[in-house]
Structure 1
Amino acid sequence: MNNRILELLEAKENEGYVSGEWLSQELQISRTAIWKQIKKLEAAGYVIEASRRLGYRLTGRPSKLTAQELGIKFQAKNVTMIGGLRLFDEVDSTQNIAQRLAEDGAPEGTLVIAEQQTNGRGRMGRKWVSPSGKGIWMSFILRPGMPIHFAPQLTLLTAVALCRALRAAAAPLDIGIKWPNDLLIGGKKISGILLESTAEEERLRYVIAGIGISVNLTEDDYPPELREIATSLRIQLGRPLDRAEIIAGFFSQFQQLYAVYQREGFAPIQTLWEALSVTLNKPTRLIIGGLETTGTPVGLNEQGALLVRRNDGAVVPLFSAEQVPPGDNGS
């Protein structure tokens, strides 16, 4: 049914609006059913203007990422770490695809990008809103060959690279990092990072770095319960952005920082992360193993743990916890 409505809108594209009544008669379905199908087309990335008086008009189509476009952007930014590119229209999760490729021996830098995820996931099993053609939903393979306890540092490195890239692409937005894996604008989430690792004999066999970025989503793309806590670059800037440019910008930053990390260790990454954090030195609710406590994050230690000053004055390291600023509902 979606395809039939799209065919009719495309056939009348040069004539202006198509009335809902005419569509209803052509397809022998109700006006309400027409509206529902229009919403599905919009969720798939089509831009359709709606007027109560005039009807519907197709004004834009999904913008799909291509290997050629990405290759040009990578070359322009001297990105050399990509070890293979897989593009998909729709997947359950790019993490799942990348993990299967890693198990099959795919090299470091193998990149999986989907226009849409049907079961995108974030940290702690949360679902990620990832409509078609509007965001960046990608995962890539790392093979650092280091002891497993260094894995948290890679999450922090990825957050720094992504924050720097998005600040450059979406200036003057003030984008910052919420430990351990979220990027925020004005307290609202625009991006999440999920690193999943597989180890053997206490060393990392591979790491799958998953990144979701809400680039060109509109408010209608979010369910009502998320509109107060999530946003997109387009909503904040008032204009769409070039997704391929953002992807290339991220890998340019990641490539540089990864080289620094391998050469000099975690200390330079720690300094950059602390400078970009939006939650350091602010009282915070912390959920650890389902139990809630309070404290004030004051920095990172050399292993990448969050240092938290408890109410009794003691400073303790945390490798895993949910950081919930006051007033946040923890989503």
Structure 2
Amino acid sequence: MTVALAPGATAWRLEVHDELGSTSDHCIARAGEGVEAGLAVMARRQTRGRGSRGRDWQDPGGNLAFSVLLRPAEADGAVGLWPFVASLAFYGAILPWIHDPAQLRLKWPNDLLLAGCKTAGILIERGSDATGRWLVIGFGANLRAVPSITGRSLACVAAYGTAPDPEIVARAICAELDRWQAVWRAEGFASLRAAWLERAHPPGTRLVVRGESGQVEGSFVGLDEQGMLLLHCADGLKRISTGEILLLDRDAAGASGGTGT
């Protein structure tokens, strides 16, 4: 089923499938066919979902598996800033369903936490071919249930509020993406940065960053002007451009994964 959403900055067309292997793979394939920006794909059940760093995503049913296809202009070439647009949009779509808004927080660069446990994540992929440049953003959220993954602390919306129908969340994400893209283009990254920090875990939160060369530990300071993570470590302030971020109080056992596209 394909439905055109309400008129907005993007000509969104929502496809709802009973089952797909991967909503992001579906969008990438359609990008190769020359499909225009605004394709939005949701699956009621996803069989080959994936998360960040090549992890598989288990779908227990009733959760959100959703991806969108965009075709950024050259002016939007700052790929490193898209996680902030996407995470702010995701936050806005999930927040109305949480009883205590203070429980919902963003974790750099684009995870959503409930009471310190991961409940949603984003996977961004980009490329170009004969049809032009494309960007696929995948959104995965534990709405009704959490997958059983040993050693990971996960949460679902139903435990902290009311679990919405995934299609309602998908539609809200599209509207929120238009909203935050407009803010970015009108006001620059500074406004996105301020909005993101308002919704993130507070300064001073103890974090561990795991990367290819090892791990560093420190206190969250904020974001720099390019969106890099600022971490106060024993040997001074560090700027982190990539890595797996764990909250020491809740995530030390590996509370990443559990959502995917």
TM bin (shorter chain): 0.7 to 0.9
* Unaligned 5+ runs, structure 2: 257-261
Report the alpha carbon displacement of residue 199 of structure 1 after superposing the two structures with TM: 5.0
For residues 177 and 67 of structure 1, what CA distance do their matches in structure 2 show?
31
More strand by share: 2
| C-alpha spacing 1:275/1:258, structure 2 compared with 1 (3 Å) | same
CA contact (8 A) 2:197 2:222 kept: yes
Partner Cα separation in structure 2 for residue 224 and residue 266 of structure 1: 36
Does residue 114 (structure 1) correspond to residue 26 (structure 2)? The answer is no
Q: Does 1:183 align with 2:112?
A: yes
Residues 287 and 158 of structure 1, relative CA distance in 2, 3 Å threshold: same
1:142 equivalent to 2:76? Answer no
Unpaired stretches in structure 1, ≥5 consecutive residues: 1-65
**Matched residues in 1 for 2:9 and 2:57: separation?**
29
Residue 241 of structure 2 corresponds to residue 319 of structure 1: yes
SS in 2 for 1:124: helix
Superposed CA offset, 1:144-191 (max 9, x none):
123786112101111111112211233434211111221010111110
Aligned position for 1:260: 183
Say whether residues 1:157 and 2:81 are aligned partners. Answer: no
Aligned to 2:148: 223
Asked if residue 196 in structure 1 is aligned to residue 196 in structure 2, the reply is: no
Write the deviation string for residues 291-324 of structure 1: whole angstroms up to 9, x where unpaired: 11112221112211112222122x2322211111
Q: State the shift of 1:230 in Å.
A: 1.0
State the percentage of identical aligned residues: 26
- SS of 2:48's equivalent in the other structure is coil
**Partners in 2 of 1:297 and 1:183 — Cα distance?**
16
Asked if the contact 1:150/1:303 (under 8 Å) is kept, the reply is no
TM-score (norm 1): 0.69
Write the letter of the residue equivalent to 2:157: L
Instruction: State TM-score, norm by structure 2.
Output: 0.86
Are residues 1:130 and 2:54 paired?
no
Distance (whole Å) between structure 1 residues aligned to residue 39 and residue 181 of structure 2 = 15
Give the distance between the partners of 1:111 and 1:159, measured in 2 at CA.
Answer: 16
SS of residue matched to 1:254: helix
1:117–1:290 Cα change, 3 Å: farther
Determine if contact 1:117/1:131 at 8 Å carries over to the other structure: no
Q: Structure 1 residues 271, 224: CA separation in 2 closer, same or farther (over 3 Å shift)? A: closer
SS of 1:225's partner is coil
Residues 107 and 201, structure 2, Cα contact 8 Å, conserved in 1: yes
Deviations 1:177-232 (A, max 9, x none): 111221010111110101111158xxx91110000011122xxx632626x61121
Q: Structure 1 pair 141/268, CA: closer, same or farther in 2 (3 Å)?
A: same
* Separation in 1, partners of 2:148, 2:191: 39
Residue aligning to 2:259? none
Aligned to 1:102: 31
* Worse overlay, 144-153 or 182-191: 144-153
- Secondary structure at the aligned position of 2:150 is classed as helix
Shift of 1:125: 1.1
1:282 aligned partner: 205
> Of the two structures, which has the highest relative contact order with CA contacts closer than 8 Å and spacing of 6 or more?
2
> Across the two proteins, how many residue pairs are aligned to each other?
250
For the residue of structure 2 that corresponds to 1:139, the secondary structure is strand
Find the aligned partners of 2:222 and 2:247 in 1 and give their Cα distance.
16
1:235 aligns with 2:164: no
- Correspondence 1:166-181 to 2 at 5 A: 166-173=94-101, 174-181=103-110
